[in-house]
Each structure stands twice: as structure tokens, then as C-alpha cells.
Amino acid sequence: MTDVSASKPIPSSSSGGFSISPVLLVPFRTVTGWFGALTILFFLFLAAFGPLIAPEPTIPVNYLPGGEVARLLTPSEHAPLGTDYYGRDVVSQLILGTRTAIMVGVLSTIFTIFIGTNVGLIAAYYGGRIDNILMRLTDLAFSIPFLPFAVILVALLNPSIWNIILTITVLSWRSTARIIRSQALSVKQQTFIRAARVAGASDARIIYRHIFPNVLPLALLYIAFGVSWAVLSEASLSFLGFGDPRIPSWGQMMYFAYVSASIRSAWWWTIPPGLCITLLVLAVFLVGREYERYVNPKS
């Protein structure tokens, strides 16, 4: 990814703010941005209305007329993507798994950006000892390898969707904090910040009313890449068997295909979740790329 830490401050009005609407419309400037945005909207639709769309929202075990489990049935009229080793409809799992991916991606990224942005803003504004303490904590977070730490933490806390979100949040804020700090240090030197101090504005007002709007596009950029990272992280943990067993997910589908020795033979069970993960991550990356061009036009 192109380095945006040294990009110029976002043009602002005299009060240090800017209109949010153009920032939200950034992905729709190019064909790839349109594709990414529409793909994300499609997955958001599935996540919101999945239980109403899925053929079997409770994902029951299906049985053949003779009473046997409808195991590994190939795609047919009644089951467009067949069934898995346990007789469950693959399409229903795929649709309901969308909500898990979106939920983990969005919530963990919101928490990550909230922590990282505040750490970066506070460190940049106050400097000195506060900056040193916060950046040393950031360095400590960088020294911890993500996947081994995530596996250990989820195993200790018991597999659940909220523990996965917590695990992703604990380590993912570090990059955002460092980049936001770098951008905020540049904005901090602008004339309107000095004018706000002279006018008697409080530290909180200067940070969140004047500096924050100018680093918001950069935060949106890291929201985009953060969602991709969170979706991949959840899929990885679920594939390793640390996903929430009560909630269907794309990574969990591939995990069950692997443990049942069907991952090579039942293509209708393994390829669709892999494609969904790829499409969602690609779509978020394309949207993030548009924000990167917006923040750093030379990229």
C-alpha cells in the first residue's frame, strides 16, 4: 500500500472542517470504485435480510426419504449448492455467514479506528511524555504476532463472535494510531490551529473540531483496509476451529469441509465461501484504494 503518512493535509475551511458528503462519494468516481461499492452494498443486503432470503434459515439437517442424512448432495433444483457432509443446505449457510463476516468486519474496525484515531490524535497534540508513552505502547503492540496471539486469546476466552472481535481490536489499532499521529502532527502546525488556541478553544475542541476533520479521510481509508483485515482474520480463526460454533460463517464452512475430508471433493461446499471472502475483501480494497487516491493524489 502506498505510504500516505506524509501526504498533505486535507484542504479545509477557515474553521478546519470540510463537507462530509464528497468524502462519502469518493468510491463512485471510477468504475472499480463503483464495482467495489455495489459489491459491498450487495453483501450488506444479504447480511441485513439473510434470514428472510435463506431457503433454510435455521440450517436444519436434511434427510433422504429412506431416513438417511442427505450427505454431500450435489447441486440440484431443491438445493442450488447442494448439501454438506452433515446434510445442511450450503446456500443457507453461505447467506447467513454473510452477517458474521460483515458484523466482525464492521464492529472490529469501528473499535479499532476509534482507539487508533484517538491514540494518534492525543499523542500528536500533546507531544512530550504523553506522546512517548502512547507510541511505546504502540511499539509493544507491533511486537506481538497477530495469529498466534489471536489463537491463544480466543482459546482462553472460549470461541465466540465477540471474543474474535475483541482479539482483532486488541492488536489492529496500532497501524492506525501511528499513521493518524503522523498526519495530525502536520495538521497541528496549520495557522487555523494556532488561531483556535489564541481564541481560547479548549484542547478537546481543537483536537476533535479542528484536527480530526482533517484526518477523517485518512481514517476512512484505514476503515476500508481494516474491514478487509478483519474479515480475513475471522475466516482464518474459524478455519482453524476457533470460530463461534453457534453462528455460521464462511471460514467455519471450510473448516467443517476440511475436518470431514471433503474439502477436495465437495467443490460446491468449499468454493462458494472462498469466493465470497475474496469478493468482499476485493470490494473493500477497491473502495479503500479510491480513498487512498483521494488522500494522496500522487499514489
Average pLDDT, the chain: 86
Instruction: Give me the domain span that covers residue 137.
Output: 26-295
Number of domains the chain is built from: 1
Does the pLDDT value for residue 6 go beyond 90? no
Does the pLDDT value for residue 12 go beyond 60? no
The pLDDT assigned to 299 comes to 55
**Which tens digit of pLDDT belongs to each residue from 214-270?**
888 788 778 888 899 999 999 999 999 888 888 999 999 999 999 999 988 899 999
Q: Is residue 263 a part of any domain in this protein?
A: yes
Cβ burial, residue 43 (10 Å; 0-12/13-18/19+):
buried
Task: Determine what percent of the chain falls in helix, strand and coil, rounding each to the nearest 5.
Answer: 70, 0, 30
Does the pLDDT value for residue 4 go beyond 70? no
Q: Is residue 101 a part of any domain in this protein?
A: yes
pLDDT band at 20 (very low <50, low <70, confident <90, very high): low
Q: Is residue 228 a part of any domain in this protein?
A: yes
d(CA 84, CA 105): 26
**Which tens digit of pLDDT belongs to each residue from 73-129?**
999 877 889 999 999 999 999 999 999 999 999 999 999 999 999 999 999 999 889
Q: Is residue 6 a part of any domain in this protein?
A: no
Q: Is residue 14 a part of any domain in this protein?
A: no
Whether 287 contacts 44, CB under 8 Å: no
**Side chain identity at 287, as an amino acid letter?**
V
Q: Is residue 11 a part of any domain in this protein?
A: no
Cβ burial, residue 261 (10 Å; 0-12/13-18/19+):
exposed
> Out of 1-5, 128-132, 215-219, 270-274, which region has the weakest mean confidence (pLDDT)?
1-5
> Out of 21-25, 37-41, 290-294, which region has the weakest mean confidence (pLDDT)?
21-25
**pTM (2 decimals)?**
0.82
Q: Is residue 19 a part of any domain in this protein?
A: no
The pLDDT assigned to 21 comes to 64
Question: Which residues are CB-contacts of 282 (< 8 A; sequence separation ≥ 6)?
Answer: 36, 39
d(CA 267, CA 270): 5
Whether 137 contacts 145, CB under 8 Å: no
Whether 285 contacts 228, CB under 8 Å: yes
Q: Is residue 204 a part of any domain in this protein?
A: yes
Q: What is the CATH number of the domain that holds 161?
A: 1.10.3720.10
d(CA 256, CA 239): 8
